C-alpha cells in the first residue's frame, strides 16, 4: 500500500503549486533575485576599453580565466561589477571549515549550536572581504598593466575597481543568503547555476557554428551530445543512490498500550557531499591563478607566467590537483555534514539499533565504516564525472559549459531545488488536510 506521502506526491502538479501561496512567493523571490544577479553581470567597471578587453580575454580564455568566466556567468569577459562572483565567499567558507577542524576554539563554537554558527558565519564574511580585496586588487593591477584596457590608469582606477568588485561580491553573498532563507534552494549554488545556464545557449550556438565552419567534426559534436546525455543520466542515478541501513525498534509500552516493534532504514547517500567538492576544488584552483591569468599577457616570464603555464586548463598539474582536491573535499565535507557518533547516540536514545551491532560506540564505528566505503565510490564518481569531460573540452577546444563540472552543478542543483519544491508542496497539502480535519471536527460539535 502506498504511504500518505506517496499518494500526495502523485497528486502534485502545477495546479497545486498555484494554490500554495507561500511556495509561489518563494519561487518569485528566487527568480527576482537571480534576475538582479544576471543584470549585474552586464554592468561594466568604469574606465574599461571594451574592445581591448575583448581582445585580451580572447587570447587568454582557454585557460583558468575561461573557467572563471563560466562560473561568473560571463561577467569576467565583460569585466562587470560581479566579475569576482561569489568565489571569494566559497573560498572563505572552505578556509573557515578547515580551521574549524584544526582549532579547538572554532570547534567549540561549532558545537554551541545556532549561536556558534552565527559567529562562524560572521568570521566567514570578514574573510570574504579580505579575499575579495586581495583578488580585486590583483585584477585592477593586472588590467592596468595589460596594454590599453584601462582608459585612464592611476590610483583612482585602482581604488574604484577594488571597491566595486569587493562590493559586488558582498552583495552576491547577501543575495545568496536571502535566497536560501526566503527563496527556494541553496542561494550560493543557484547563483553559480544561473551563470552557467544563462550562457549555455551561446555555447551551443558557438559549437554548432564551429561545426558549420569545419573547425569541429560532426562526429565530435554528436559524441559530445551523447556524452552530455550519458553524464546527466549517470549523475541523476548516482545522486539518488543510497546505502540503507536496517534499523529495528523494540516493543514499547506507553501507558496501558503495548506497541509492536518497528523497522525503518537509515539512508546514507552515495555522494553525501553533493556538488560541493567540484565547486570548492575549482574555487581553490582559481584563487591563486586570478592574478596570473590577467598578467600573463603582459609578463611572459617569471613566477606568474610559470604558474599560469602549470595551472593551465587541461594541463597535467591542473588535472592532478583538481582530482586530488575533489577527492579530499568529498571526504572532508561528508565528515562535516554527517556525524556517525551523533547519529548512533540518537538511535540509542530512541531505542533503535542495527541488527547484529551493539548500540553506542560500536554502532558509530559501523556507520563510519559504511560511510567511508561508500564515500570512496562517491569521490571516484565525482572525479570521473568532472575529469574525463574536462579532458575532452581541453583537447578538443570545446566550450567549458560542456565539461563535467558544469553539467554536474546544473543537474545536482536542479534536483535539489525540485526536491525543496516537492517538500514545500507536501507541507502545504498536509496543512490543508489538517485544516479540513479541524473544520469537520468543529461542524460535528
Q: What is the mean pLDDT of residues 167-183?
A: 91
4 belongs to a structural domain: no
**E strands of 85-149, at which residues?**
none
Confidence class of residue 32 from pLDDT cuts 50, 70 and 90? very high
394 belongs to a structural domain: yes
Do 230 and 100 share a structural domain? no
Compare 39 and 439 and report the one with higher pLDDT: 39
Q: Tell me, what's the pLDDT at 297?
A: 45
445 belongs to a structural domain: no
Residues above pLDDT 70, as percent of the chain:
76
**Contact (CB, 8 A) for 347 and 363:** yes
Q: Tell me the CA end-to-end span of the chain in Å, nearest whole number.
A: 33
2 belongs to a structural domain: no
**Contact (CB, 8 A) for 106 and 116:** no
Q: Tell me, what's the pLDDT at 168?
A: 92
Burial classification of residue 91, based on how many CB atoms lie within 10 Å of its CB (0-12 exposed, 13-18 middle, 19 or more buried): buried
Rounded Cα gap, residues 116 and 288, in angstroms:
30
> Is the pLDDT score of 68 beyond 80?
no
Among 215, 235, 261, give the residue marking a domain's end: 215
Q: Tell me, what's the pLDDT at 61?
A: 54
Do 327 and 184 share a structural domain? no
Instruction: DSSP letter for 261, please.
Output: P
Do 259 and 211 share a structural domain? no
Q: Tell me, what's the pLDDT at 289?
A: 58
pLDDT digits (tens, 9 = 90+) for 188-246: 888 888 888 887 777 777 777 777 777 777 777 787 788 778 888 888 888 888 888 88
Q: What is the mean pLDDT of residues 328-337?
A: 86
Among 215, 234, 252, give the residue marking a domain's end: 215
Instruction: DSSP letter for 45, please.
Output: P
**H or E segment to which residue 412 belongs:** helix 404-444
DSSP per-residue string spanning 154-178: SHHHHHHHHHHHHHHHHHHHHHHHH
DSSP helix/strand/coil, 439? helix
Do 206 and 155 share a structural domain? yes
Q: Output Rg (C-alpha) for the chain, integer angstroms.
A: 25
Do 352 and 267 share a structural domain? yes
Give the orientation angle of helix 21-40 with respect to helix 404-444, to 10 degrees: 150
Do 250 and 188 share a structural domain? no
> Is the pLDDT score of 295 beyond 60?
no
Q: Tell me, what's the pLDDT at 31?
A: 92
> Is the pLDDT score of 59 beyond 80?
no
The pTM (predicted TM-score) of the whole model is 0.76
Q: Tell me, what's the pLDDT at 307?
A: 63
Cell of 156: 583612482
179 belongs to a structural domain: yes
Q: Which of 183-187, 281-285, 328-332 has the weakest average pLDDT? A: 281-285
Do 239 and 161 share a structural domain? no
Rounded Cα gap, residues 323 and 113, in angstroms:
33
Confidence class of residue 299 from pLDDT cuts 50, 70 and 90? very low
Q: Tell me, what's the pLDDT at 347?
A: 83
Compare 297 and 141 and report the one with higher pLDDT: 141
13 belongs to a structural domain: no
pLDDT digits (tens, 9 = 90+) for 363-411: 888 888 999 999 999 999 999 888 876 676 666 656 555 566 777 888 8
Total of domains in the chain: 2
**Owning domain of residue 276:** 216-438
CATH number of the domain within which 133 lies: 1.10.3370.10
**Contact (CB, 8 A) for 191 and 175:** yes
Do 244 and 189 share a structural domain? no
**H or E segment to which residue 243 belongs:** strand 242-249
Confidence class of residue 3 from pLDDT cuts 50, 70 and 90? very low
Do 423 and 386 share a structural domain? yes
> Is the pLDDT score of 82 beyond 70?
yes
Compare 433 and 316 and report the one with higher pLDDT: 316
Q: Tell me, what's the pLDDT at 222?
A: 82
> Is the pLDDT score of 422 beyond 70?
yes
**Contact (CB, 8 A) for 342 and 364:** no
Do 308 and 425 share a structural domain? yes
8 belongs to a structural domain: no
Mean pLDDT of the chain, nearest integer: 78
**Contact (CB, 8 A) for 199 and 401:** yes
Q: Per-residue b/e over 413-439, b at no fewer than 16 CB within 10 Å?
A: bbbbbeebbeebbbebbeeeeeeeeee
Among 170, 195, 215, give the residue marking a domain's end: 215
Do 313 and 285 share a structural domain? yes
Confidence class of residue 442 from pLDDT cuts 50, 70 and 90? low
Compare 305 and 437 and report the one with higher pLDDT: 437
Q: What is the mean pLDDT of residues 36-65?
A: 77
Amino acid at each position: 500500500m502506498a504511504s500518505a506521502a506517496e499518494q500526495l506526491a502523485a497528486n502534485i502538479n502545477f495546479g497545486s503549486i498555484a494554490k500554495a501561496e507561500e511556495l509561489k512567493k518563494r519561487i518569485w523571490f528566487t527568480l527576482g533575485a537571480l534576475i538582479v544577479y544576471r543584470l549585474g553581470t552586464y554592468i561594466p567597471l568604469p574606465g574599461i576599453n571594451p574592445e581591448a578587453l575583448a581582445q585580451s580575454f580572447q587570447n587568454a580564455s582557454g585557460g583558468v580565466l575561461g573557467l572563471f568566466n563560466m562560473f561568473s556567468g560571463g561577467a569576467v569577459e565583460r569585466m562587470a561589477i560581479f566579475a569576482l562572483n561569489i568565489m571569494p565567499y566559497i573560498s572563505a567558507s572552505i578556509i573557515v571549515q578547515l580551521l574549524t577542524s584544526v582549532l579547538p576554539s572554532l570547534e567549540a563554537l561549532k558545537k554551541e549550536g545556532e549561536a556558534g554558527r552565527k559567529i562562524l558565519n560572521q568570521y566567514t564574511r570578514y574573510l570574504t572581504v579580505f579575499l575579495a580585496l586581495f583578488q580585486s586588487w590583483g585584477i585592477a593591477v593586472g588590467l592596468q598593466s595589460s596594454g590599453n584596457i584601462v582608459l585612464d590608469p592611476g590610483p583612482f582606477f585602482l581604488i574604484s575597481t577594488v571597491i566595486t568588485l569587493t562590493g559586488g561580491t558582498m552583495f552576491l553573498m547577501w543575495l545568496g543568503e536571502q535566497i536560501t532563507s526566503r527563496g527556494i534552494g541553496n542561494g550560493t549554488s543557484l547563483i553559480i547555476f544561473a551563470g552557467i545556464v544563462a550562457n549555455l545557449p551561446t555555447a551551443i550556438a558557438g559549437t554548432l557554428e564551429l561545426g558549420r565552419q569545419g573547425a569541429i567534426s560532426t562526429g565530435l559534436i554528436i559524441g559530445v551530445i551523447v556524452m552530455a546525455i550519458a553524464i546527466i543520466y549517470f549523475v541523476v542515478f548516482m545522486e539518488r543512490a543510497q546505502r540503507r541501513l536496517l534499523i529495528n525498534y523494540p516493543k514499547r509500552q506507553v501507558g496501558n498500550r503495548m506497541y509492536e516493534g518497528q523497522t525503518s532504514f537509515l539512508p546514507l547517500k552515495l555522494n553525501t557531499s553533493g556538488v560541493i567538492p567540484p565547486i570548492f576544488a575549482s574555487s581553490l584552483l582559481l584563487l591563486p591563478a586570478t592574478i596570473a591569468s590577467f598578467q600573463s599577457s603582459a609578463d611572459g616570464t617569471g613566477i606568474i607566467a610559470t604558474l599560469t603555464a602549470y595551472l593551465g586548463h587541461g594541463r597535467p598539474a591542473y588535472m592532478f590537483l583538481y582530482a586530488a582536491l575533489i577527492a579530499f573535499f568529498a571526504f572532508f565535507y561528508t565528515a562535516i555534514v554527517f556525524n556517525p557518533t551523533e547519529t548512533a547516540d540518537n538511535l540509542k536514545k530512541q531505542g533503535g539499533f542495527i541488527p547484529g551491532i551493539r548500540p553506542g560506540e560500536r554502532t558509530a564505528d559501523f556507520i563510519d565504516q559504511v560511510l567511508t566505503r561508500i564515500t570512496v565510490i562517491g569521490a571516484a564518481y565525482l572525479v570521473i564525472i568532472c575529469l574525463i569531460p574536462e579532458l575532452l573540452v581541453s583537447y578538443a577546444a570545446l566550450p567549458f559549459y560542456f565539461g563535467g563540472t558544469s553539467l554536474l552543478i546544473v543537474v545536482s542543483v536542479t534536483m535539489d531545488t525540485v526536491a525543496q519544491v516537492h517538500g514545500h508542496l507536501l507541507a502545504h497539502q498536509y496543512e490543508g488536510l489538517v485544516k479540513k480535519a479541524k473544520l469537520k471536527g468543529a461542524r460535528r460539535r
